[in-house]
Chains A and B, each alone.
Chain A
Amino acid sequence: MTALFSFWAAHAGELALLTRQHLLLVFVSTLAAVVIGVPAGILAARRPGVGRAVLLTANALQTVPSLALLGFLLPLPVVGGLGPRTALITLSIYALLPVIRMTVTGIRTVDPAVVDAGVAMGMTDRQLLRLVQLPLALPSIVSGIRVATVIGVGTTTIAAAVGAGGLGEYIFRGLSMVDTTTILAGAVPAAGLALAADGLLALLEAHLRRAPVTSRAAGRIAMGLAAVVVLATAVSLFARPAGDVVVVGSKNFTEQVILGELVAQAIEAEGGVRVERKLNLGGTFVADRGLRAGELDVYVEYTGTAVTAVFHEAVPHDPAQAFERARVRYAEHGLTVRPSLGFNNTFAILVRSDDAQALGLRTVDDLRRVSDRFTPGFGYEFLQRDDGYAGLTTAYGLTFAHPPRGMDLSLIYQALSERQVDIIAGDATSALIDAFHLTALDDTRHYFPPYDAVPVVRAATLLRYPAVGRALDRLAGRMSDAQMRALNAAVDVRHEDVATVARIFLSTLRR
């Protein structure tokens, strides 16, 4: 508890910013869902045929996992890309179903005698809707908005995966650091927001049920809401940071966040240009898309990952050749690969140290003797990649007791330590190797290619802002494997602040 409060105290400014972003994302996406969902619900309520189709579509969209939807939208022009736009579209889609459903319910459950009265008074269809059905359906519509908002506050935590900010930043950061305090720092305020929104809208709903608004007031409210959503959408779509800004990205694990912060601070130290951070992006795919779309200017990639995961080629096992491959392929896309920072974050096959001692495991080859008793666990990316699981078992002739369990990278070390799995593929520079008493097995057959950490920069950015080039030169070749592990340990094990860790390391490098 104390740790949580001191975390908030230390990050008060950031917490306020993330909360504001979170609220704005929820507000705009829910409003968009209302502006689309209420008319759709009205149509659905009045035309049963259309109604079935509308509800079926909304239902189907709801079942798509949120991260999958984000991944699908990212590469699309106009609607996709890094930042709030993609997040808003995804969130709006999730908010649609409750709004549509409760609009339909609200209109269909208006007392038929009252509707008959309206018709018999000589109301046209539209007058009936405006004067009778909508005002009477309003409490039900508000309860749909309430459900959408509460779900939205929760779902908005995924916005951080595409660099749209919000309280999910802390949750993703905490997951990658295996740090409960940081996770709670985001999760607790998000839960608080959800409860507050639920309470407020419940009050509004109860008030409307007691004292229904007249049709004219309802009309005015609807017009007001529509104006706000149009304005807010316009702002969120067109507001780009003005002036000289370099956007630094990173993927969503500790080392990447440290490297992103390090690059950002190094550029800031050169002066003359503002730096925007989009750290914690949801994976290689997201970061690469961002870079190519011009939404990122620079992030640190690994040569092996670049050649296989980005360009789908086989990686030369010689580090210099791998670097050259990556340089040539990136150049085709207007991207420049800068010299390596100095360390090689290749895969490490890890087992528990007590297993290693008891079973005499030193190399990956030794695994063959015991693999039929071992359950492997790997990150989803490792399971998919050609240079991942499939290649590994072929190269070393391994047969495991169970098919591999796919799990989130951030949980994999803990899973091994807690004996949920017996062997994992981790990062060679992970601080958790020592923290969880794990042993890395030697890759004697050189199955894993080199993964030298190299900054990838948009060529245009380098030309326009020479400070970026100077900053990256300052970092080049200055980080050994041990140094990277130490930085990771500072953040992952000792829970030090990323920005502080980066600042201290940077101060040890000469200008």
Chain B
Amino acid sequence: MPTGMSEPLVQFDHVGFSHTAGVPILRDVTLACLHGQTTAIVGRSGAGKSTLLKLINRLLRPTSGAVRVQGRDTREWDPIRLRRSAGYVMQDAGLFPHMTVAENVGVVPRLEGWDEPRVQARSRELLELVGLPAAQYGTRRPAELSGGQRQRVGLARALAIDPPLLLMDEPFGALDPITRREMRVEFSRLRRQLGTTALLVTHDIAEALALGDQIGVMDAGELIALGSPEQLAQHADPRVRSLLATGLPPRSGPS
């Protein structure tokens, strides 16, 4: 890491975003993700959560303010390098249907020009890590896996070159409640084990509370609350309170 550990890995500085001539999708978002922390962004669909993620790996560029990764404005990064240093996990995994499980996990290492034995060793290691032994699952295609298994492969793929940052867009959104809980536990274990910095987007407040060291609440393109789970519980804003109410036990499951 070229910068000191005290500096945030990801920094949003008064960021706004709108499509050309459109209504603003993000308004004046300021946010910092510290090393080793998991930041969970929660909000209803259309609140601007996914847009926030896409601004980090420059799938989108801010229309005002600046997004900095490792202290550097994303607009100054080579987008390819930036994306490879940020593992990306999508809803429903987004696996490449024409590749085997092992090939999916090996995509980024191969893009990075690793030699073949190293790619394969890494694939095996990661598949073990997410509980899918390579001998049994490596040669299957995504279509032959269950939703939870696909999500694990998606996670393994995102972690393949050990990126400093993990971006997760509704990673467990397409799973049934039981598998979701399992995956949360799995993810918490992995994160502790690897010490990765993560930014997670979800519409499930329970998930955010379970996984996030820091939680941001988004509503209509604005970040209306930011803090630890405890701080959030004390929050006075009625919008935050109503959101908390929907997600607190007894659990409502995926909405």
Q: Which of A67-75, A112-120, A161-169, A446-454 is near enough to bind chain B?
A: A112-120
- In the bound complex, residues from chain A placing their C-beta under 8 Å from that of B100 are 214
Contact A214 B108 (CB under 8 A): no
Contact A122 B103 (CB under 8 A): no
Contact B98 A121 (CB under 8 A): no
Q: How far is the CB of A214 from chain B (nearest CB, A)?
A: 6
Q: Which of A127-135, A281-289, A501-509 is near enough to bind chain B?
A: A127-135
Contact A120 B88 (CB under 8 A): yes
CA distance A213 to B167 in the complex (A): 29
Q: How far is the CB of B55 from chain A (nearest CB, A)?
A: 13
Q: Which of B34-42, B79-87, B185-193, B234-242 is near enough to bind chain A?
A: B79-87
| Interface assignment of A392: CB less than 8 Å from any CB of chain B | no
Known: A113-B90, A127-B111. A121 touches B84 (CB 8 A): yes
| Interface assignment of A123: CB less than 8 Å from any CB of chain B | yes
Q: How far is the CB of B149 from chain A (nearest CB, A)?
A: 17
Contacting A at CB under 8 A, from B82-123, are 82-84, 88, 90, 92, 94-100, 103, 107-108, 111
Per the CB 8 Å criterion, the residue count for chain A at the interface is: 21
CA distance A136 to B97 in the complex (A): 8
CA distance A123 to B107 in the complex (A): 9
| Interface assignment of B1: CB less than 8 Å from any CB of chain A | no
Contact with B along A269-308 (1 / 0, CB 8 A): 0000000000000000000000000000000000000000
Contact A122 B90 (CB under 8 A): no
Contacting A at CB under 8 A, from B141-190, are 157, 167
Tell me whether chain B's interface is mostly helix, strand or loop, or mixed: mixed
Contact B83 A121 (CB under 8 A): yes
Contact A117 B94 (CB under 8 A): yes
Contact B95 A122 (CB under 8 A): no
CA distance A135 to B103 in the complex (A): 14
Contact B80 A122 (CB under 8 A): yes
| Interface assignment of A212: CB less than 8 Å from any CB of chain B | yes
- In the bound complex, residues from chain B placing their C-beta under 8 Å from that of A131 are 96, 107
Contact A132 B88 (CB under 8 A): no
Contact A214 B88 (CB under 8 A): no
Contact A113 B111 (CB under 8 A): no
- Nearest neighbor of B93 in chain A, beta-carbon distance: A117
Contact B98 A213 (CB under 8 A): yes
| Interface assignment of B21: CB less than 8 Å from any CB of chain A | no
Which of B83, B94, B157 counts the most A-chain CB atoms under 10 A from its CB? B94
- Nearest neighbor of A134 in chain B, beta-carbon distance: B98
Known: A114-B94, A120-B90, A132-B96. A214 touches B103 (CB 8 A): yes
| Interface assignment of B57: CB less than 8 Å from any CB of chain A | yes
Q: How far is the CB of B99 from chain A (nearest CB, A)?
A: 6
Q: Tell me the total A-B contact number using a CB cutoff of 8 A.
A: 60
- In the bound complex, residues from chain A placing their C-beta under 8 Å from that of B79 are 122
Which among B88, B98, B103, B167 is the interface contact of A117 at CB below 8 angstroms?
B88
- Nearest neighbor of A119 in chain B, beta-carbon distance: B59
Contacting B at CB under 8 A, from A229-257, are none
| Interface assignment of A63: CB less than 8 Å from any CB of chain B | no
| Interface assignment of A124: CB less than 8 Å from any CB of chain B | yes
Contact B83 A122 (CB under 8 A): yes
- Nearest neighbor of A117 in chain B, beta-carbon distance: B94
CA distance A228 to B101 in the complex (A): 33
- Nearest neighbor of B99 in chain A, beta-carbon distance: A214
CA distance A451 to B100 in the complex (A): 74
Q: How far is the CB of B18 from chain A (nearest CB, A)?
A: 20
Contact B94 A135 (CB under 8 A): no
Contact B94 A119 (CB under 8 A): no
Q: How far is the CB of B5 from chain A (nearest CB, A)?
A: 24
CA distance A113 to B59 in the complex (A): 13
Contact B80 A113 (CB under 8 A): no
Contact with B along A121-151 (1 / 0, CB 8 A): 1111001000110011000000000000000
Contact B97 A114 (CB under 8 A): yes
Q: How far is the CB of B52 from chain A (nearest CB, A)?
A: 14
- Nearest neighbor of B84 in chain A, beta-carbon distance: A122
Q: How far is the CB of B185 from chain A (nearest CB, A)?
A: 25
Contact B98 A214 (CB under 8 A): yes
Known: A114-B96, A214-B98. A119 touches B107 (CB 8 A): no
Known: A120-B83, A122-B81, A131-B107. A113 touches B92 (CB 8 A): yes
Contact A121 B97 (CB under 8 A): no
Contact B108 A121 (CB under 8 A): yes
Contacting B at CB under 8 A, from A84-126, are 111, 113-114, 116-124
Contact A121 B99 (CB under 8 A): no
Contact A119 B83 (CB under 8 A): yes
CA distance A132 to B107 in the complex (A): 11
Contact A122 B94 (CB under 8 A): no
CA distance A119 to B80 in the complex (A): 9
- In the bound complex, residues from chain A placing their C-beta under 8 Å from that of B98 are 135-136, 212-215
Contact B90 A121 (CB under 8 A): no
Contact A122 B111 (CB under 8 A): yes
Q: How far is the CB of A154 from chain B (nearest CB, A)?
A: 33
CA distance A131 to B109 in the complex (A): 14
Which of A122, A131, A132, A135 counts the most B-chain CB atoms under 10 A from its CB? A122
- In the bound complex, residues from chain B placing their C-beta under 8 Å from that of A124 are 80
CA distance A131 to B97 in the complex (A): 11
Contacting A at CB under 8 A, from B58-87, are 59, 79-84
The 7 A-B pairs of least Cβ separation, nearest first, read A122-B83, A212-B98, A117-B94, A122-B84, A120-B88, A135-B98, A122-B80
Q: Can you give 14 contacting A-B residue pairs, CB < 8 Å?
A: A114-B96, A114-B97, A120-B59, A121-B88, A121-B108, A122-B80, A122-B81, A122-B82, A122-B83, A131-B107, A135-B98, A136-B97, A214-B99, A214-B100
13 further contact pairs, Cβ within 8 A, besides A121-B108, A122-B82, A124-B80: A114-B96, A114-B97, A120-B83, A120-B90, A120-B94, A122-B81, A122-B108, A131-B107, A212-B97, A212-B98, A214-B99, A214-B103, A215-B98
